[in-house]
Amino acid sequence: MGLDALEVIVISLTIFVISYIFVFQNHQVIGDSMFPNFLDKEYVLTDKLTYMFIRPPVRGEVVIFKYPKAPEYEYIKRIIGLPGETLKVKDSKMWLQKTDGDWQQLDESSYLKESVITFGRAAIKDDTPFKVPVESYLVLGDNREVSSDSREWGIVPKNLLIGRAMFRLWPPSKLGLIIKNPAY
C-alpha cells in the first residue's frame, strides 16, 4: 500500500509539471490596465497550446505575453491588430483599414464602455496609419487611459506570446471561463 500511494503521488506530480510547463500556466493580473474586465490581483489560467498547434490569435482575445522591452516581465492585454493589418487611432476610437482602402471603426462595445477614450501615444500616434508587421500583434489594455500598451512601446512579436487567458481562477466569485471573444 505504501508503494501504491507513492506511485500515485509521483504520477500526479509528473502530470502536473508537464501540464504546467507545456499546456497551462496561471498568471496574476498586476495593475489596472485591463480594468474593469480584469482586476489587480486576479489570477487567470493561460492556455499555452492553442497558438502553438491549433490556430493563430484572433482579434479581441486576451493574451499573456513577455513585454518586448524587458522579456522578464509578463503583460496581459487584448489583441486589436493582426499581422499585416493597418490600423489607426481616430476620433478616440480604433479604426481598421479594409482591403478596399476604406476605414472601418472597430466595434469594441463588448469589452469597452462607450465613454472609453483611445488616444495615440509615442509608437502609434493619433490619425496616423500603423501597419502591423508580419508575425506581430498590436495589443491594447481595456483601461486605455492608464494602459502601457502598443500605442506606447510598439507591437508584440508572435514569439513573445505565452498564450491566451482562458479561465479565471481567482477570486472565487468570478471563477469560470473568460467570456467568449467579441465578434468583429
3-class SS of residue 17: helix
Which among 113, 10, 95, 110 is positioned nearest to 61, based on CA atoms?
A: 110
Buried b (16+ CB within 10 A) or exposed e, 156-165: bebebbbbbb
My answer on whether omega of the bond before 36 falls inside 30° of 0, hence cis, is yes
Instruction: Specify the higher pLDDT residue, 132 or 176.
Output: 132
Domain boundaries, the chain: 26-177
**Poorest-confidence range of 47-56, 67-76, 93-102, 148-157?**
47-56
Rounded mean pLDDT of 91-109? 94
Name the architecture of domain 26-177. Answer: Ribbon (2.10)
What average pLDDT does range 21-27 have in this prediction? 72
pTM, to two decimals? 0.85
CB atoms within 10 A of CB 24: 15
Give the confidence band of 181 by pLDDT, cuts at 50, 70, 90. Answer: low
Q: What is the pLDDT of residue 132?
A: 98
